[in-house]
Structure 1
Amino acid sequence: MITLLHGENTFESSQALAGIIATFDGDAETIDGSVIETVQLPDLLMGATLFASNRLVIVKNLSENKSVWNDLGEWIPRVSDDVHLVLVDSKLDKRTKTYKELMKVAKVSEFPVWTERDTNKVEQWVVEQATKQGVQCDKKSAQALVARVGVDQWQLYHAIQKLSALDHITPDIIKDVIEANPAENVFNLFDAALRGNRERVHEMVATLKQTDDPYMVFGLLSSQAFQLAALASTDESSGDVAKLIGAHPFALSKLAPYASRIGKRGAKKMIATFADTDTAMKSTAADPWLLVERTLIKVSNIK
């Protein structure tokens, strides 16, 4: 039997692998596929050993080892009935002959990374995971946790573990207990600029300088600006715009009041400002943090 678990969502694939191991009566053999050689394939794939009549052989990241990955295609028909071969790979080239052969005979599960387009699914998962860990979490709190942490399942899982010591979860508790991810910090920075609070902008930039990369911060700010411009340029609700551009509806709902204030003309000015800064960051030797702060000061002047 052959099972292929692939995709960049390593949380989901690790959970699937754990389920396979849990149902196997014996000790699993785990192999680093990136360093094995073709001559090792017969021992891995062809039947029982002196110590076990059935084997669970887990080979990770074999596709990184291109020569052995290509050779595996010829060995697929020879995998013994006594062997359950589990291939685990985060980045798989679906164009390869081996992948196509596996699709014919293996049980294949793909685990794509969740994005903001999956927000509803993520929030439902948070509620279910919290219940499994013995803590009450309603939809509003799940929305707050996803907005603060993001859609990465590993980070959400660890955040829920941290909150599981409590009887229940509320948005205020999440804010007090869970550290904000960079996107949340950047949103607060952008929010300060939109409110015209230049002093707060200066303080937050000075704080972010200590730990964050200016180009990453500018990229996140640009994403916020794009979302705000999308809201300001249409009469659609923030929820509908979120679906259209693949953004988190909770985040867009917080931008909605500013969209009505700046309007389409203000949105154009804001996007032009960010475009000018993007050019300056790529083509000049100016301090990138200074460029970020200047951009936000200009945003604070848009009415």
Structure 2
Amino acid sequence: MNDQPLFGRVVLVSGPESLLAERAVERLVRQALAERPAASVTKVEAGDLDAGGLAEVTGGSLFAEESVVVVQQLSDLDPGLFDAVLAFVSDPSEELALVLVHPGGVKGRGLLDKLKKARIEVVDCPTIKAWELPQFAAAEARLLGGRIDRATADRLVEALGADVRAVAGAVRQLLADADDRVISEAAVRRYFAGRADVTSFTVADHVMAGRRNEALGALRWALETGVAPVLVTSALANALRAQGRYTDFVGQRMRDVDLARDLGVPPFKVKEIVQRSRDWTPRGLASSLKLVAETDAAVKGQAADPSFALERMVMGVAGLRGRRPDSGMGR
């Protein structure tokens, strides 16, 4: 982040990863208050602003004194106010530190592009992909003065799924209880046993490997322990899509980390996908995805018994897996 004074400047925090955006805003506010401790701090929603409110925020009588203002959800700003925002950006008040927060996406994109062309400081907050989460967990541990090795980080992500906030919170919790500030795999298993041992991802893994009985047992236990049915359909759909994407990379020599990025999975999943590639035909994957989509609709309200629909899906998808005598797939 730029270490120039924040007062008299505008900073744009942009991107869909809300945790990173929140942290960026917190850092900017702290920096501004370190510069001018007596400044007031105000957070407003862009959608609540009209012309008068925007004028007050950017230098009207309400904010005559030094102030730090954070405008959230810039995508909701009235398009009629775009020019006013751009005018302020070109000549900001020396008594104001203004932070604009945009969640990314197409809404309000015109203003976003013009702000970036104005060469104001931009803090990017991109989505943290599934394959990046173990690395994110390790970075979180270092940030908190601790450590987690790659295998343990993989296990933690496997337990929690692609939930950035859950991973960040788990790292903080585990480090708080680790006397040596090192997160062990045993601690991950102890704290997240219910989730790590039987989750929607575990069900999907059993299905993709053709282990019907194990998949059914894992499914029943997962549902009993509170796993939402839609998480099961989502996990299996993601597994099938990743398996299908792998066919585009057959024969290419790639590092696991690069392949994981292109497949959209954590690196520890790559070996499983490669090993299973001989057991899935394009037709089998397509038929399975169709069945999963039908089941997803069912568990969202079109079926009287979601658990029965899920069991039928598990049996059906596992049955569509079949070994081919000469697939030519593998690395």
Please report the TM-score for the alignment, with normalisation by the length of structure 2: 0.72
Aligned partners of 2:186, 2:263: CA distance in 1, in Å? 28
Which of 118, 121, 124 aligns to 2:135? It is 124
Q: Decide whether aligned partners of structure 1 residues 66 and 191 sit closer, same or farther in structure 2, where only a CA change above 3 A counts.
A: same
Q: Cα offset for 1:5?
A: 0.9
Q: 2: distance between equivalents of 1:74 and 1:297?
A: 58
In the aligned structure 2, how far is the partner of 1:87 from the partner of 1:197? 50
Offset of 1:229 from its aligned partner?
4.7
Which of 70, 73, 76 aligns to 2:85? It is 73
Give the counterpart of 1:14 among 9, 13, 22: 22
Where does 1:107-256 land on structure 2 (aligned, <5 Å)?
107-117=121-131, 119=132, 122-164=133-175, 165-166=177-178, 167=180, 168-178=182-192, 185-193=199-207, 197-209=211-223, 211-230=226-245, 234=250, 239=256, 241-256=259-274
**AA aligned opposite 1:45:** T
Q: Kindly tell me: are residues 170 and 256 of structure 1, through their superposed partners in 2, closer, same or farther at Cα, counting changes over 3 Å?
A: farther
CA 98–69 in structure 1, closer or farther in 2 if over 3 Å, else same: farther
> Which of the numbers 33, 36, 40 marks the counterpart of 2:53?
40
Bigger CA drift: 213-222 or 12-21? 213-222
Q: Give aligned-pair identity as a percent.
A: 18
How far apart, CA to CA, are the structure 2 residues paired with 1:288 and 1:50?
A: 55
For 2:201 and 2:154, how far apart are their aligned partners in 1?
16
Report the residue type matching 2:152 in the other structure: S
Check the 8 A contact 1:47/1:81 in 2, yes or no: no
Distance 1:102 1:28, change over 3 A: farther
Does the CA contact (< 8 Å) of 2:200 and 2:227 recur in 1?
Answer: no
The amino acid across from 1:108 in the alignment is: V
* Range 68-77 or range 106-115, more displaced: 68-77
**Structure 2 vs 1, CA of residues 139 and 285 (structure 1 numbering), >3 Å: closer, same or farther?**
closer
- Verify: 1:291 aligned to 2:302, yes or no: no
Question: CA offsets, 1:180-222, max 9 Å, x none?
Answer: 769x712211333456554443333334445344344223212
Residue 273 of structure 1: CA displacement?
Answer: 3.7
In structure 2, relative to structure 1, the CA distance for the partners of 1:203 and 1:50 (3 Å cut) is closer
User: Residue 96 of structure 1 aligns to a residue in which SS?
Assistant: helix
Deviations 1:94-129 (A, max 9, x none): 542475156315222221111135x2xx43342232
Moved more, 68-77 or 8-17: 68-77
Q: Name the CA distance, whole Å, in 1 between partners of 2:14 and 2:287.
A: 41
Call closer, same or farther: CA 1:70–1:88 in 2, change over 3 Å: same
Deviations 1:242-283 (A, max 9, x none): 3432222212324444445x2x55x64354244245357659
Letter in 1 for 2:72: K
Gaps of 5+ in 2: 1-8, 323-331
**For structure 1, which runs of at least 5 residues remain unmatched after alignment?**
none
Given residue 215 of structure 2, which amino acid in structure 1 is its aligned partner?
Answer: V
Provide the rounded CA distance (Å) in 2 between the counterparts of 1:151 and 1:221.
Answer: 14
CA RMSD of aligned residues (A): 3.6
Q: Does the Cα contact within 8 Å between 2:233 and 2:292 map onto a contact in 1?
A: no
Amino acid across the alignment from 1:137: I
| Cα pair 1:147 1:250 within 8 Å, conserved | no
Q: One-letter code of the match for 2:42?
A: T
**1:62·1:69 contact (CA, 8 Å) conserved in 2?**
no
Amino acid at match of 1:163: L
Residue 159 of structure 1 and its aligned partner are, at CA, apart by 0.8
Q: Which amino acid aligns with 2:216?
A: H
Partner of 1:2: 10
Match in the other structure for 2:72: 60
Q: Which amino acid aligns with 1:109?
A: V
The 3-state SS of whatever aligns with 1:4 is: strand
